[in-house]
Each structure stands twice: as C-alpha cells, then as structure tokens.
Amino acid sequence: MTPFDGLATDRRTFLTVSAAAGGLALTYDIAAAAAQGQDGAKIGAYLTVAPNGQVTIVSKNPEIGQGVMTSLPMLIAEELDVDWKNVRVHQAGNNPNAFGRQFAGGSMATPLHWEELRRVGAAGRNMLMQAAAQQWNVPVAELSTEPGFVVHKASKKRASFGSLAAKAAALPAPTKEQVAALTLKDPKDYRIIGKFTPQVSSPQIVTGQPLFGIDTRLPGMVYATYEKAPVFGAKVAKADLDAAKSVKGVRDAFVIEGGDQLDGLLPGVAVVADTWWAANKARQKLNVQWADHPTSAQSSAGFAAKAAEFAKGAPARSLRADGDVAGALKGAAKTVEAAYYYPFLAHATLEPQNCTAHFKDGKMEIWAPTQLPEPGQQLVSKTLGIAPENVIIHMTRSGGGFGRRLSNDYMVEAAAIAQKVGAPVKLVWTREDDMRHDFYRPAGFHHFKGGVDAAGNLVAWEDHFVSFGEGEGFARSANISPTEFPARFVPNYKLGVSTMPLGVPTGPLRAPGSNAIAFVVQSFIDELAHAAGADPVAFRLKLLGDQPVVGGPGPGGYAAGRMAGVLKLVAEKSGWGQPLPKGTGKGVAFHYSHLGYFAEVVQATVAADGAVKVDKVWVAADVGGHIINPAGAYNQVQGSVLDGLSEALHQEITIENGAVQQTNFNDFPLLRMNEAPPIEVHFLKTDNPPTGLGEPALPPVVPALTNAIFAATGKRIRALPIRAEMLKA
C-alpha cells in the first residue's frame, strides 16, 4: 500500500463558506469516491479574501523543494482572477478532516489538483460575482471580472473583491452540481498559469530566515541526539550512561527499547542536553555495546555472489512470459547477453533528519519536515500510546525529501524522547546518522538475453532480475512491473525474478524503481541497436512502432506516440548524428514514469585517464498541455538531471557485516558545481492533462550518459557508479 493508493478519479465536490474578519473564507473539499472497492481520499484547499483585497491561500501539501507551495496556489489564484502580487500563501498544518491526504511524493500534486484547485478559485470568483449582482440588482450573466474586481460593463460599475467579500460570505455555498457546471478559463486568457513565477519562500531562503524544520525554536527547548546500532534493528546490550551524563550541559541519557519495525522506533540511546553540541559530545562517551543481530552477516559482496549463483539457474518465479523466447533467440541473426548491476543509494538530503516535539497535558505537538504527516501522526500514536487526535503535526519546509521523508522514523524518535523528558525537544541527526540510517534505494542485478533479426527488429528479450525480498514479496521499492518497457513491444518477452532476504531498510528514492530500471533497460536496448548495426535513435523509434498507445487506453497503456514525439524532438535539438571529436560521444535514452514521457541526450568526453566530463544534456519532455509554473518546471527537470548524473558518476552504498560503510559526503559524494553541465530543456505540449515534474526527468539521464560513454570509447558501462579505471585507455 502506497500513500497514493485509493485516489480515485470520480470525485464529489462541495464548498463551505464563512465570514473571516469581514472577508470571505472558502473551503473547498474534493472527496474522491471509492474506486474498485478502495477507500476514498479527500483533498482540500482553502482561501480567504480580506476586505483590503488581499487573498490568502493555504497550501495543503508539504513543500520539499518541488515548488507546490507556489504552483498549487497559482491554480486557485488564476481562476479567482486576482493579481499574483496580492496573494499570500501559508502552509497548512496536518488536518486530514479538512484536507484529506496531504503528502509530497510520486509527482502527483499536479495531476491530482489541476482541475480541482482551479474550481476552488472559480467558485470563489462566482460567489463574488453573485454578491455584486445582488448589490447592483443585475443578472450575474452580465458581470465579468478583471484582476481583483467584478465589472458590470453596461453601467461601467466596478467593485473590488475586498469590498464584496463580506457579502459573498453571507451567500449559501454552491452545490457540487453548481461547482461542476462552472466554466473555467480558456487557457488563452491565463494571466498566472504558464508565467515564470518565483517561489513564494525564496526571499526567506536567500536571506536565511527561519523556515526549515532544523530552524524550529521553542521556549525552554532542549536538544537531543539518538545513537542506534550500525546493524539495523540491533538492541542495546550495554551503554555507559554515567559517562554521558558527566558532560557539562547534559540533562539526561537513557536507553529506549524500541522495536523491530525498521521504519518505526528502533532501539537506541538518547542523550538530552542544553545544547546540541553537548548532547553530541556526550553521545561519543556512551561506548554502546550492541546485541547480536541475525542480519549482521549480510554484505554487498555476499549479495553479488548470491546473485551470480541465481543467474546460473532459472528464475524463482515468472512475472511475464510472451511468445517463445528460446525459439526466437535461437533463430535470431544476432544475440546479446549481458549482466547489469546498480548499487544501494542514500537520499543524502542536505537538511539532515530532524524533528522538534513537545509532550504536555497528554498531547504531543510536533514540528517536522515530513512528506507524510498523517502516517507520522499514526506512527507516533501507535508507538507511544497517545490518541491520534492528541498528536498535532506542524509541517515545516523540508531541505530536500526525494522520498526519504516518506518515512517518519525521526519523528517518532523525537516524540519518544519528548514523552520522557517533558520539555520541548529538538532531535537533530548528524550527517553520519543520516547516511547510515536511511531507507536506501535497493541494489539490483539483471541478467539479459536479447536477439535481433536480419532486418534489425528486436525479436527476443529475456531478463532474469535478482532483487531482494522473501517469498513472493519484494523489499520496498525493489520490485519491477510486468509491463515495464519493452514488455508489449517485443513479441517474445520473458521477465523472471529471484529474491534474497535483506536486513537493510529500503524505500523510494526520487523516481523509485525507474531510476535504476531505466539504466539497465535503455543500456541493453543500446547494445541491441549496435548489434543490429542501427542508429540508436532509429532503432528506438522502430521499436516504439506506429501504434499510438500500446496496452490499451487508461493507466495501463503506454503512449508510444508521445514517447516517439519527445525522442524525435530531443534528437533534433541535440543535433543527433553530427560528427564529434575523438573521445566524445552522444548517448540517447528515454523512459516513462510518473505519467511523464522523457527522452534525453547526453554528450560526454572521456579523457585518456578515464575521467568523464559531461559536456551537455538535452531534455525533451511531454507532461501534457500546460506548464503551471515554468520557473519551477525548469528547476525540477534540471535538478533531476543533476541528481541522476550524481548517482551515475559518484554514488554507492555498500554493506559490510550488516552495516553501511559510507558515513559522509567524502565517501558518498554529490555532484560538484564544476561538474554540472549546461542542460537544455524542451517541453512538447500535447493535448493531455498536465502531470508532475519532480521525478520523471531523472531516469533517462543515467543510461544516456553510459550510452554516450560507449559512443566515445567503445566501452560498455554495465555497473554503477562509473569509475575512471573502467575507462582508462
């Protein structure tokens, strides 16, 4: 079950209206009807029109850098018809009753809210027009609006939204049928949607004002650190609490028994002090001895050896089998066989995990940079035995999320410490904590066989995927879909899987699944293109074929025509096929994820010592017919590309004796500024609803880079990260 399950497409809508200090307060709730027996989900948005005409819009979802605190209010403001300069945006608190699910993840903010939040604004605009119609005794049909004003052109009367707000608040709320019947703006009339708009919190960020979770300050607050076992879930056998308590400024040090739920409250030792520095200094004196744990023998080397053993045999189970793969391989003009590997990865958010909690009078109040506030509330409630209504979550800005803050382990740790201390407690993880106690992108092993016929057609594809899990279940984010491309595009296709147990906690990382699968699939497609003697772009276009949608309409379909469109566009914009100097190559890749179709070209140069320089990246994207905020859109695409390059060139988490070996950015580097290439982004607008941009630009850049390296050197990268020794002349 993901945080996005149960979000139906059929919705019922209703509005509630009230007076707010002489103004208009409008709450618009969209309750998703049950779909296929699933529980419905309710999503809300809120706006206030003040007598002075200022509009305050509450942004319901967590802001983690993806820009929703700007883009979603833009939808409301557009249809309300106000000047953006007169809009103020506030972050909502966690309130499922008013807002339904509030989350950041899956690039779902735009597709879920595109129409609904525009109707918030349209309903507010309609009520203001009704108020003016009553005041002037004219039909509503004779009225129109200009930014911030209702206008009656026949009489040349104009009234500001602020002057009409109180009267509008006295009107009955429109019915769901009335809201659904409202006519939304023609896109040619947009004044806000589609315009470059700075993030609403940019002034606070660039001036260093308190904004993030780590900035939280409360009167009487103390600071905490929390020491956990290197082997995930191991219990405390012994700790020198007295040595920790002897450090000046330390208030207390104590063992928390915790449990075995890896995304919950794990066993550890808390230190509480007047300053974080004192708490961390005392932590270093704990000399904790940890109990034995069953997964302490696991290692990256062991996983690789087991995967190689699995590869020699048949998969443990089949996920898809089309046609006759063995026969097609036997009859193919050329066959290719290759083994690919990608490593565990950490999220490495620049703001380490942190949370501030205060337990008083039976209530737990929490300030946290979280992507999933409501599940955090439920976790604290269940773990500490506090009624859910007595756990209050305040969402703060997050210094990066990328899926890490979908887990609320740091929240329940802070709450557990605060429950014992009885004062406001700020828990701040070190970078080492953050690196060694993540929910990692799972590693994976793919063993491919493929065949092309004499005409250069891909006729056979086989993938034995070795991943993590037990029985028929996968570890979190370690699965693969039976419809993963090129399934349904190859007549003879086989996907099988074998799994091995894992004690390392895993979870979604930006573009989960896709960030790894695109690398292996698009790299192997490139190998087959070269085996066929075909141009890599032409080979892919031929593979996509002439059928616009493969697999049927709806969510299960793959819009091959849309993918072909971005592939052609990126080839054109990148000057694909033009001659390049020796040692320089271009690579291409595409991938569909999170409702977005992306194709990318990377140009890279490889030096004699194996050093890789990414010269430039071209991106072509089809995310529908509208880009709400181009400033945020370009930011998201370029950031995704840089994340992908960072993963490909530098990053790997390795396991030894059940524990993560990396500790900080010295051994888990991020891309440096001097490595960041120019990134040229092109949006191909199509007649489709707009979709999200936080994730789908990342997956194609990794194989586009490795394919560019092959074009430059003739050396195929089949394991990440890319190391200079792989490419030395």
Domains of the chain: 11-192 (3.30.365.10), 223-297 (3.90.1170.50), 300-345+440-726 (3.30.365.10), 353-428 (3.30.365.10)
Whole-number Å distance between alpha carbons of 591 and 323: 24
* pLDDT for residue 554 is more than 70: no
At how many degrees (to 10) do helices 373-384 and 409-421 cross? Answer: 40
* pLDDT for residue 249 is more than 80: yes
Dump pLDDT digits (tens) for 159-190: 999 999 989 888 887 778 888 899 999 999 99
Dump pLDDT digits (tens) for 95-109: 888 777 899 999 999
Sorting pLDDT into bands at 50, 70 and 90, what band is 655?
Answer: very high
| Residue 23 φ then ψ, to 5° | -115, -160
pLDDT at 553: 72
| Mean predicted confidence (pLDDT) in 346-367 | 98
* pLDDT for residue 26 is more than 70: no
Residues with Cβ within 8 Å of 670's Cβ and at least 6 positions away in sequence, in order, are 348, 646, 650
Contact 310, 498 (CB under 8 A): yes
| Mean predicted confidence (pLDDT) in 448-473 | 97
From the list 553, 552, 532, the residue with the least C-alpha distance to 543 is 532
90: part of which helix (H) or strand (E)?
strand 87-91
β-strands 236-238, 289-290: how paired?
antiparallel
| Mean predicted confidence (pLDDT) in 642-650 | 98
pLDDT higher at 678 or 29: 678
Three-state DSSP at 565 gives helix
Dump pLDDT digits (tens) for 465-482: 999 999 999 999 999 999
Environment class of residue 582 by beta-carbon count within 10 Å: exposed (0-12), middle (13-18) or buried (19+)? exposed
pLDDT at 45: 47
* pLDDT for residue 227 is more than 50: yes
* pLDDT for residue 281 is more than 80: yes
C-alpha Rg value of the chain to the nearest Å? 28
Q: Could you count the other beta carbons within 10 Å of the beta carbon of residue 678?
A: 11
Residues with Cβ within 8 Å of 142's Cβ and at least 6 positions away in sequence, in order, are 133, 152, 153, 154
pLDDT at 17: 56
613: part of which helix (H) or strand (E)?
strand 612-622
| Mean predicted confidence (pLDDT) in 354-382 | 98
| Residue 51 φ then ψ, to 5° | -55, -30
Calculate the average pLDDT of the chain: 93
Whole-number Å distance between alpha carbons of 455 and 89: 59
Six-digit token string for 270? 């808390």
Peptide bond into 486 cis (omega under 30): yes
Exposed e or buried b per residue across 419-434, where buried means at least 16 C-beta atoms within 10 angstroms of its C-beta: bebebbbbbbbbeebb
| Mean predicted confidence (pLDDT) in 240-255 | 98
pLDDT at 552: 76
Environment class of residue 147 by beta-carbon count within 10 Å: exposed (0-12), middle (13-18) or buried (19+)? middle
How far CA 712 is from CA of 177, 274, 307, 669, in Å, comes to 61, 57, 30, 25
At how many degrees (to 10) do helices 630-650 and 701-713 cross? Answer: 50
Contact 48, 60 (CB under 8 A): no
**What's the whole-model pTM score?**
0.94
At how many degrees (to 10) do helices 514-531 and 536-544 cross? Answer: 110
From the list 33, 68, 46, the residue with the least C-alpha distance to 694 is 68
pLDDT at 18: 56
585: part of which helix (H) or strand (E)?
strand 584-593
Dump pLDDT digits (tens) for 290-326: 999 999 999 999 999 999 999 999 999 999 999 999 9
Environment class of residue 12 by beta-carbon count within 10 Å: exposed (0-12), middle (13-18) or buried (19+)? middle
| Mean predicted confidence (pLDDT) in 696-706 | 98
Whole-number Å distance between alpha carbons of 395 and 46: 16
Quick one: DSSP state of residue 265?
-
Whole-number Å distance between alpha carbons of 715 and 687: 41
Exposed e or buried b per residue across 604-633, where buried means at least 16 C-beta atoms within 10 angstroms of its C-beta: bbbeeebebebeebbbbbbbbebbbbebbb
Whole-number Å distance between alpha carbons of 356 and 368: 7
Q: Could you count the other beta carbons within 10 Å of the beta carbon of residue 229?
A: 25
Measured distance between the N- and C-terminal CA atoms of the chain, rounded to whole angstroms: 48
Sorting pLDDT into bands at 50, 70 and 90, what band is 143?
Answer: very high
Whole-number Å distance between alpha carbons of 706 and 716: 7
* pLDDT for residue 5 is more than 80: no
